[in-house]
Structure 1
Amino acid sequence: MYINYIKKLFIIKNINNIKKKYKYINKNSLIKKIAFININIKKYNNKFYQFQRIGYFYLYNKKKKKFNSIFFLKNYNNFKKK
């Protein structure tokens, strides 16, 4: 499976960092959905990565009045091309 949302990906160590960075309407909207799947991404910005798990959650956009899906990398390994 290949993720087409590479530009939306950003690396975090844990969800607590997200809680501090963003303000949410309530706890229910904090993390609407988290799904983990096993995935490998071979190349991104000329660097090679191997991602064990990828997750996503929804942020509430006050201007558009809807939830935006944001992807994050839970665990990752950076490895050089052999």
Structure 2
Amino acid sequence: MELLDQQLGVHAEAWRNWIRQAEADADERTDRPSSDLVEENRRLLRETPTGSTMDSAVAPSTPAVLADLPGTAGLTTVTVTDSPRTRSA
């Protein structure tokens, strides 16, 4: 394997990662996601508006919900916005 590493100029760790990923794609290991799942997650991240979360969908109704719960008198809500995340793909 070392000779092949040298001939192709590929580091042994890269080979190991490629083999592990191929095994995950073939459902032979469960400790890492398949390439299809990774691509689906990336697609969903691209399609999701920046700062959009389930919390932002629920946040407008939070004061009304708190008002109906016992022991929540005097509580206030704070709006928190997410900053755009940067990811290296």
Q: Do the two structures share a fold, i.e. TM-score over 0.5?
A: no
The two structures have a TM-score, normalised by structure 1, of 0.22
Which entry has the higher C-alpha Rg, 1 or 2? 2
Structure whose residues are more often helix by fraction: 2
Higher relative CO (Cα under 8 Å, sequence separation at least 6) belongs to: 1
